[in-house]
Amino acid sequence: MKNFNELFSGYNFTLTEGQIKENVKTLIDNLYENTDRPSNIKELFGHIEITSLNTTDNEDKIVSLVEKINALDEEFPEMGKPAAICVYPAWVETVKNTLTEDVNITTVIGFPSAQTFIETKVAETGLSLMAGANEIDMVISVGKFLQGNYEEVFEEIQEIKLSCRDAKLKVILEAGLYPTPQDLYKACILAMEAGADYIKTSTGKDAVASLYNAYVMCRAINDFHEKTGVKVGFKAAGGIVTTQDALLYLTVVKGVLGEDWVNPTDFRIGASRLANNILTAVTKEEVKYF
């Protein structure tokens, strides 16, 4: 059995909510002006995971979405490609059969609340990989974590990571649900110690995360990297709609993690409406492509 008291005691994060807010304000005051540039807005498109996680999704809608990604070079030759397309497991095969571009295929398991059997999550992971996914976004069992059942949460992430084989595993923390910044920080450390390749802010279906949550998560990534040498990615998701929203998250990533994380491999944004707003900002014309 892993000694979680020993694990958590190896990290020292004592900032209050007030101090976190002040630190984020300082980062924005010092860095945002230089971040809010047309070149950065354009580059952010390559960090996006074009996402469709709707109850109304069907084959026609998913095929249409993928065909728009396929046609991006023709429609917007200056933009490049998004980092990934993210859909429910039922539509992974449809994406795989329709996609002609070199774009990652992401799916979600235990979504959106993690309130199902571990066997179901492992099966979802395996079936999704067989269908063509190469990135898995799992939801952490927040309720069990808040109960202090760290061992079970840890082992669940480990088991799903093992099931991922060569696919990347992103652990969704639902960052807005933790009573204190220290609770969120501990959840980050636990997830990364269990093998997460990325930690992700939220599903967008529950308490949407904030820039302050992102700051805590990036601090955890930085501290984990300093201690272990392992580089874990960061994914922001839920309520990121405007280019300003995206640039603010970019500012936090730059300010806490540095330029080494500012690439489509280590920094992702899960969004749908954001893509249109970036296209609008770059082309200077209103775009409703996605």
Q: How many domains does the chain have?
A: 1
Which residue range forms the structural domain that includes residue 227?
15-283
Average pLDDT over residues 87-91: 98
Residues in Cβ contact with 288 at an 8 Å cutoff, skipping those fewer than 6 apart: 276
**pLDDT number for residue 167:** 98
Q: Is residue 260 part of a domain?
A: yes
pLDDT for the residue 207: 74
Task: Write down the mean pLDDT value for the chain.
Answer: 96
What was the pLDDT predicted at 70?
Answer: 98
Do the domain assignments include residue 77?
Answer: yes
Q: Would you say residue 9 lies in a domain?
A: no
Under the banding of pLDDT at 50, 70 and 90, the label for residue 209 is confident
Lowest-pLDDT range, 52-61, 167-176, 206-215, 218-227?
206-215
pLDDT given at position 35? 86
CATH classification of the domain holding 58: 3.20.20.70
Q: Which amino acid is at 262?
A: V
| Stretch 236-263: mean pLDDT | 96
Is 41 part of a structural domain of the chain?
Answer: yes
Please indicate, yes or no, if residue 290 is contained in any of the structural domains. no
Active site residues: 137, 200, 235
Does residue 2 form part of some domain? no
- Are 265 and 233 in contact, with CB atoms under 8 Å apart? yes
Sequence-ordered list of residues with C-beta below 8 angstroms from that of 258, at least 6 positions apart, any chain:
none
- Is residue 5 situated within a structural domain? no
Domain membership flag for residue 10: no
Percent of the chain with pLDDT over 70: 100
Nearest CA among 167, 67, 165, 152 for reference residue 118: 152
Q: Is the pLDDT of residue 151 over 90?
A: yes
Asked whether the predicted pLDDT for residue 204 surpasses 90, the reply is no
